[in-house]
Amino acid sequence: MYVCGPTTYNYFHAGNARMFVVFDMIRRYFIYKGYDVRYVQNFTDVDDKIIQRGNVEGMDPLALGQKYIEEYFKDAKALNLMPATVHPKATEHIPEMIEIIQGLIDTGLAYEVDGDVYFAVERFPDYGKLSGRTIEDMKAGARVEVDERKKHPMDFALWKKAKPGEPFWQSPWGEGRPGWHIECSAMSLKYLGAGFDIHGGGEDLSFPHHENEIAQTEGYLKGETFARYWMHNAFLTINQEKMSKSLGNFFTIRELLENNPGEVIRFYLLGTHYRSPLDFNDQNLSMAQKGLERLQTSVRLAQEALNRSGTQKNDPIHGGLVEAAQEARKAFEKAMDDDFNSALAYAALFELAKTMNGHVKENSQSSEGLAVAQKTLIELGGVLGFDLLHPAQVSVENEELLSQVMNVVLQIRSKSRQKKDWEMADFIRDSLKEKGIVIEDTPQGARWQLKK
């Protein structure tokens, strides 16, 4: 799999995050199904926008790109994104790009004009086959500059002549830097070769980026297939409008992480089928948090039940829970096999959690079936990238000390309840809730957890 990575001139926004999370989920599911997945995700670390941002910040563009590569990994970790097999940087693959460009010139598919090199779209008969557009209907993408020297308005840059103050590399056409599209062609061919399985990205990349990738790569390969399957996730919107840095209506993941655990953001992003638009608002994010907490709570309650009494192999409910786990796995796989329908996969997890909760509530002893069901729920949640057994917690300097203090607090509250001092018991409960610690009274006694 090759998935287009970020252009490193800023923290990535929630719209970018949807793409990263979606294809991370797809990768995880392939691994779950037994595939050996080689996953390549690039960094575009030289680009017009990086140069412009570097000029604004008074920072060397290449240093700026490296800065935001490092910041990417911090946010990616918070979203539980698996590191790619290879994370190639555009700036480290200039020779490969020059080789492809020269090959296109040699076959007549590209031409040089005063240090710039353009791809001749009219000379590639299949141009437009991915997006379904004809050349006559097409308009240049946001990164394509109008240039009267081009033979056709849709011809796109493979190599750009260096302007004063810009980073540059030596080439047969003089000092310059690569165009945006050629970067992904060079890196995907180097690490996956021609005819690899899946090329992924957001639907905004279908044209012109992916269309141009196909043209230049298959032109260079003399008709050999570039990628076998193309997958695109739908936009994340704000008030029904596409979220993008150019429109200025975006939230960076770094900003969202200030008030939301990364696992909640991930849960929200996978709550809708990847090819359906997803509108961002705080209410939906809050609902996602509650949904994730339901699954985590179910796992936690099952664990507490198992810790209290171990497993009872002869429990008559054993078979029912095992069957429920098996049905959940079937439903989960059916949903994911149908174009990675994560929203429907969620339903399978919630149904299993509901069955587990009913068992814990109605039975004083746990069953071996509960252990099987819990293990299944944890495993399937992990396929989607969630650690249901170890949910993210508000960081504390000393968790062991907090646990000891809370045990004392619960003992004090228990004595208050025994004395029927309900006012004091409620005061302790409500005061702790304000501090982010939730007390839950159960037939087995009070328990506490940090509220995320």
Mark the binding-site residues, compressed into ranges.
Answer: 4, 184, 209, 213, 245
Binding-site residues from annotation for Zn(2+): 4, 184, 209, 213
Residue 391, CB-side half-sphere exposure with 13 Å CA sphere: 23
Give 113's contacts (C-beta < 8 A, 6+ positions apart).
149, 150
First to last CA, the chain: 34
Q: Cα separation of 97 and 176, whole Å?
A: 12
Q: Residue 434, exposed/middle/buried by CB under 10 A (0-12, 13-18, 19+)?
A: exposed
Question: Which parts of 227-386 fold into alpha helices (H)?
Answer: 253-257, 262-269, 282-309, 318-337, 342-362, 368-383
Binding-site residues from annotation for ATP: 245
Q: Cα separation of 393 and 403, whole Å?
A: 13
Number of residues that make up the chain: 452
Helix/strand/coil for 446: strand
Helix/strand/coil for 396: coil
Sign of CA dihedral 100, 102, 105, 111: positive
